[in-house]
């Protein structure tokens, strides 16, 4: 189980979100008493995350794409499939590529919603 923003998923398949490496460099200023530190960071790589959500109705399943796409450009908190919390993950794109009906018990059914998310750690906050 995992989540992206306010959306929870039954399954989440993803590589580990890369941590941003930060190096602190001491800068020597000639003729000045004291030190200055400057931090240098590396840009995070984009990560593709596959998710499977459960929807109770066909209408809910079909509207998932629109609801997910509303998050594009937002920085959200993600909890990955290993339970790690990653704050301020930027949602670059999301594509719902399949909705599958599954019978739980007659006449009750549910729908699996499959999506691919493109995410990037921003390194801000948290």
Give pLDDT, residue 55: 92
- pLDDT, tens digit, for every residue of 80-94? 888 888 888 899 999
- pLDDT, tens digit, for every residue of 18-56? 555 556 677 777 777 777 776 655 566 788 999 999 998
For residues 117, 91, 111 and 97, what is the CA-based torsion angle, rounded to 10 degrees? -40
CB-count burial class (<10 Å; 0-12, 13-18, 19+) for 68: buried
In the predicted model, is pLDDT for residue 125 greater than 70?
no
| Residue 126 binned pLDDT confidence (cut-offs 50, 70, 90) | very low
Q: What is the pTM of this model?
A: 0.75
Give pLDDT, residue 16: 64
Average pLDDT, the chain: 83
Question: What residue ranges do the domains of the chain occupy?
Answer: 2-20+46-121
Tell me if the bond preceding 107 is cis, omega within 30° of 0: yes
């Amino acid at each position: 189980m995992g989540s992206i923003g306010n959306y929870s998923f039954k399954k989440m398949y993803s590589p580990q979100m890369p941590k941003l490496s930060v190096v602190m460099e001491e800068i020597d200023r000639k003729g000045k008493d004291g030190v200055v530190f400057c931090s240098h960071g590396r840009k995070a790589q984009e990560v593709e995350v596959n998710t499977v959500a459960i929807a109770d109705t066909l209408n809910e399943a079909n509207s998932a794409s629109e609801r997910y796409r509303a998050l594009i450009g937002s920085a959200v908190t993600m909890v990955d499939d290993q339970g790690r919390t990653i704050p301020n993950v930027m949602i670059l794109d999301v594509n719902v590529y399949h909705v599958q009906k599954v019978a739980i018990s007659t006449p009750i059914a549910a729908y699996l919603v499959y999506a691919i998310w493109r995410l990037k750690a921003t390194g801000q906050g948290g």
